[in-house]
Chains A and B, each alone.
Chain A
């Protein structure tokens, strides 16, 4: 029978695996951020061959479910690495999840970054040139900060989406919060309680993240009016 008592009992056990979930979010997101920038830059610069390859890469990721991508990496990567004499069979499964999610998120992030950079008016880059800045300096100081501001709502969605997608990692034997709940369900026969614990944690964290991204979005308003038409009180940084 379902009992809130068990929910309370299992909570410490489940929450003790939160660092695993956190790591499953932060490592791929950080890697994807760098990779996403490189992919976006390569596609914007239209580097031959690489551009076509990346277009296919991005399409593959967008057109296939994340779970298949995870299995392809989990079962495929060892086979691939074997060809180079690397034995990946004993590796911690977390590594494969890192790789799979990095591939997935970097594709979506690169699209977001690319379209946000294109959304910054050309006059901003020209103004940088006119001031005597190099293309790189203008991208770094003017265009990219504005593009990040434009992409922030999308970045927030991706981040929260990734956080929730970590719930699939148990399928390749990673013991995160879900993996723990599953173990509890199997060993103690209470199916529902552990998952309720997970649901509570996911809901709270997702809500907190949404508030956080909303706050950062406002802080980065560059003096633009908020949704109520008021001018923001923004300080120079």
Chain B
């Protein structure tokens, strides 16, 4: 379970998050939608303390912290409970696919090397990359790198995995394979908070869809409620723009 209450974050004068609140129940998949610049990435980064929020409250599992007063030790504990899949993968460039997955198991989870290797091999098999275990990131396609990124997050068995537009840096033909893997992650019952513009993924998989704009949550509901009966004008506008862009892409 993860809950953010009233999160605020500014970069100098720029107010990026202005009191957003979000809750994800165990085993839920929550999709966050919103225009570019609305603060989605910043919010995910604040959950993992890659960015420091100015104020607000964060609950991850049985731990609750105040963003303004959080201690270094608590940050470390929360990071261990939260997985993160980056838009641009961020695989460790000096490690092979297998080592990317193994490393955290050894260093953070204190597993033995053999145990970690077994677990990493399983995770990579699960994202259908058994034939690439000894490849370095620079030798993998974007879609393959992102699947390694997902395997790396899953192997650590966090309470929740955050996905920041995991397919937006990918070529169209590689998006599908990555979404397929993410659907399997959802089927395993792993709690997920996903920022994406892939409406079909949200429609098929999400338990809840959240629409953010200007640093706050504008509207939330089931995929059906948001896509078929959006209440807010801004949600409607945003959805029609995305759908228009998609059909333009498809028509090319």
List the interface of chain A (C-beta within 8 A of B).
Answer: 121, 123-124, 126-134, 137, 141-142, 145-146, 149, 222-225, 231, 234-236
Contact for B90 among A127, A133, A141, A234, CB less than 8 A: A127
Binds A, one of B2-10, B99-107, B185-193: B99-107
B55 interface hit (Cβ, 8 Å): no
Which residues of chain A have C-beta atoms less than 8 A from B139's C-beta? 223, 231
Instruction: Name A130's contact: one of B84, B96, B138 (CB within 8 Å).
Output: B84
Contact assessment for A132 and B80 in the assembled complex, using a CB-CB cutoff below 8 Å: yes
CB closest chain-B residue, reference A225? B138
Please provide the chain B residues from 71 to 107 with a CB less than 8 Å away from any CB of chain A in the complex. Answer: 76, 79-80, 82-84, 86, 88, 90-96, 98-99, 103-104, 107
Which residue from A129, A142, A224 sits with its C-beta under 8 Å from B79? A129
Most buried by A among B79, B80, B137, B156: B79
List B contacts of A234 (CB < 8 A): 136
Contact (Cβ within 8 A) A235 B136: no
Smallest Cβ-Cβ distance to B152: which chain A residue: A131
- Assess whether B21 is interfacial by the CB under 8 Å rule: no
A-binding residues in B (CB < 8 A): 48-50, 76, 79-80, 82-84, 86, 88, 90-96, 98-99, 103-104, 107-108, 134-139, 152-153, 156
Q: Which of B93, B107, B135, B138 contacts A124 (CB 8 A)?
A: B93
Partner of A223, one of B49, B98, B138: B138
Q: Which residues of A contact B99 (CB under 8 A)?
A: 236
A132-B80, A133-B104, A141-B107 given; A236·B98 CB < 8 A: yes
Complex Cα distance A235/B79, Å? 31
CB of A126 within 8 A of CB of B90, answer yes
Determine how close the nearest CB of chain B comes to the CB of A232; give it in whole angstroms.
9
Report whether B48 and A222 are in contact in the complex, using a CB–CB cutoff of 8 Å: no
A33 to B138, CA, bound (A): 29
Which residue of B104, B134, B138, B153 is within 8 Å of A222 (Cβ)?
B138
Q: CA–CA, A115 to B60, complex, Å?
A: 37
B88: A residues at CB distance < 8 A: 123
Provide the bound-state CA to CA distance between A232 and B129, in Å: 20
- Is B50 within 8 A of A126, CB to CB? yes
A225 to B136, CA, bound (A): 11
| Closest Cβ–Cβ distance, residue A102 to chain B (whole Å) | 29
Contacting residues, chain B, for A130 (C-beta < 8 A): 48, 50, 79, 82-84, 86, 90, 153
Q: List 6 A-B contacts (CB under 8 A).
A: A124-B90, A130-B50, A130-B153, A131-B152, A132-B80, A149-B94
Given the interface contacts A123-B86, A223-B139, A236-B98, does A131 sit within 8 Å of B104 by beta carbon? yes
Contact in complex: B104, A223 (CB < 8 Å): no
Which chain A residues lie closer than 8 Å to B96 at the CB level? 223, 236
What 9 A-B pairs are tightest by C-beta distance, nearest first?
A223-B136, A130-B84, A131-B104, A127-B90, A132-B80, A132-B108, A123-B90, A223-B139, A223-B138
Contacts of A149 in B (CB 8 A): 94
Instruction: Tell me the bound Cα distance from A137 to B108 in angstroms.
Output: 9
Whole-angstrom distance between the alpha carbons of A127 and B104 in the complex? Answer: 10
Q: Which of B83, B91, B103, B156: most chain A Cβ within 10 A?
A: B103
Beta-carbon contact of A129 and B48 below 8 Å: yes
Query: Is the beta-carbon distance between A132 and B90 smaller than 8 angstroms?
Result: no
Across the interface, do A224 and B138 meet the contact criterion of CB distance under 8 Å?
Answer: yes
**Residue in B49, B93, B137 whose Cβ sees the most chain A Cβ within 10 Å:** B93
Given contacts A127-B84, A137-B107, A234-B136, 4 further A-B contacts (CB under 8 A): A124-B92, A131-B108, A133-B107, A222-B138
* Most chain A CB atoms below 10 A, which of B76, B82, B88: B76
Q: How far is the CA of A234 from the CA of B79 in the complex (A)?
A: 32
- Residues of B near A235 (CB, < 8 A) are 134
Question: Do B94 and A222 have beta carbons less than 8 Å apart?
Answer: yes
Q: Which of A124, A131, A234 has the most CB of B within 10 A?
A: A131
Task: Check B94–A132 contact: CB distance below 8 A.
Answer: no
Q: Is the CB of B92 within 8 A of A142?
A: yes
B86 touches A127 (CB 8 A): yes
Residues of B within 8 A of A236 (CB): 96, 98-99, 134
